[in-house]
Chains A and B, each alone.
Chain A
Amino acid sequence: MNSTRVSLILFALVLALGIAAYAGPRSGLLVLIGLGFGLTMEGLGLGFSGPWRLLVTERDGRGCMAQLVAIGLTALLAIPLLAVGASELIGAHAPVGIGMVLGAFVFGLCMQLVLGCGSGTLLNAGSGNLVSAVALVTFMLGSFFGTLNLGWWARLGSLPVLTLQGLFGTVGGLLLTLLLLLGVGLLVWQRAVPGKRRPSDRLLIAAGLVAGFAILNLLIAGQPWGIVYGLGLWGAKLFQVLGLDVAATAFWSAPANAERLAQSVLLDVTSLTNIGLVIGAFIVLRWRAAVAPQVAALQPVSWLVVAAAGLVLGYSSRIAFGCNVGGFFSGISTGSLHGWAWLLAGFAGSTIGIRLRERVLVPLRPPVAAAEAA
């Protein structure tokens, strides 16, 4: 066991150093930050879709409270940093629009079907969850397909990009963000049953660490933590290799995207943290003495549902300007109004997804029960 753990540490260090040597120190640091996210979230059990489901089904608000703490801690530093480093840092700022709200709603629904959001799918795939491994492949394709229609969705109608600090100043925007988070926290507290309101120390530590890594991500990458852009980029590169003229499409011909498409993914900040997340989850899997069982075998049609839901997850998160991480977590923590719209629409979709899940994810009948039925 000890030799396995030493090997895992060496593997992580060699990977980060190798990437730093090839693609520069920023890339190496971002892989380390991704590893930090992965180790923290997988190792300490902080997620996004699970806590939303537990709040609805079991009136357990502890995970949601931890999310709010993480977002609040990040906002405390991120919003002032964006004001100080306006020429070097950007926030996750996007417009609230019809496509954005619909995308967040559908994403919230589908994330309950594939057992994870953007980060959750990466983490679960890295820790060997077969449902997430299947969904990750189609998520990537869906995220690329979303880039092909993003302009159409944007033209359906949207507000201008609005941030709370833009409306009320840096201090006012930060205070309003914290007050709104407090308000959501009170709603969660009210919904949760006694004993399932205050997050455990483990979750609070995880929230603090995630906030710390999110701030480091902002300082080093120059932009907040995101997931979906990297997955869409991987899909675009795959289709490019297959002969599709991706560079001629509207989204991928825009200067920033064209540059990413031509460059190695080892220079794309979102790809780097995504890689770190998957490897961090793998390290946690191998670090532990006991490996949890694989997910239950599903009916063939349920696997098709998982694949389709992954595709829709990718597509919807692209038109929603991010998943739970890029839209909800980073949107709110950098003051964007679209983060709050994402929360409302995503949570509404999630409550429907929770109900759908038991109908569409049907496990295979156990052999004994099947024999008895025959």
Chain B
Amino acid sequence: MNRPDPQTPGTHPAQAPAAAPPAHPGRVLVAVMTLALAGLFLALDLLTAERIDPFQVPPPAAFGSGLATAGAHCALPAP
């Protein structure tokens, strides 16, 4: 959150020490590093995973496709 965030220590006046120093690095750098890590992971995945066949990709929407969903969800039971 960019506005003073009650979930974040140090940004909420009710719970943070008034002069607690902020952590380093700053928000923008941490966000950019997060995206860079995600990008690195995606690049690694593209190198190691099966290539995607453009003629075998799923239809735009599952609903109305006539196909059973091919995804996997958090609620998937144990095998």
Contact = CB atoms under 8 A, between A and B. Distances in A.
Nearest to A297: B23
A127 B74 contact: no
Interface stretch (A68-76, A186-194, A259-267): A259-267
Contacts of B76: 94, 229, 256-257, 321
A293 interface: yes
Contacts of A155: 78
Nearest to B62: A222
B26 A291 contact: yes
A296 B21 contact: yes
A265 to B, nearest CB: 5
Interface string A288-311: 101111111110000000000000
A88 B41 contact: no
A296 B29 CA distance: 16
Contact of A154 (B48, B60, B77): B77
A157 interface: no
Nearest to A154: B78
Q: How large is the interface on B (under 10, 10 to 19, 20 to 34, 35 or more residues)?
A: 35 or more
Given A130-B30, A270-B74, A331-B75, A88 B67 contact: yes
Contacts of A151: 78-79
A199 interface: no
Contacts of A294: 10, 22-27, 30
Contact of A322 (B10, B70, B75): B75
A221 B60 CA distance: 9
A90 interface: yes
A251 B79 contact: yes
Contacts of A115: 7-9
Interface in A254-291: 254, 256-257, 259-260, 262-270, 275, 278-279, 281-282, 284-286, 288, 290-291
Q: Could you say which of B21, B31, B65, B68 has the most chain A C-beta atoms within 10 Å of its C-beta?
A: B31
A285 B5 CA distance: 13
Interface in B7-24: 7-11, 15-24
29 contacts: A23-B52, A26-B62, A45-B1, A89-B69, A90-B69, A92-B75, A115-B8, A124-B7, A124-B8, A128-B27, A150-B78, A218-B63, A237-B44, A250-B79, A264-B46, A265-B49, A268-B71, A291-B2, A294-B24, A296-B10, A296-B21, A297-B22, A322-B75, A326-B73, A338-B75, A358-B15, A364-B20, A365-B20, A366-B21
Given A53-B7, A294-B24, 20 more contacts: A47-B7, A49-B7, A85-B63, A92-B74, A124-B7, A128-B26, A219-B62, A220-B61, A220-B62, A223-B62, A226-B73, A229-B72, A237-B41, A237-B44, A275-B42, A288-B2, A295-B9, A295-B11, A297-B24, A367-B21
Interface of B: 1-11, 15-31, 33-35, 38, 41-42, 44-46, 48-50, 52, 54, 57-79
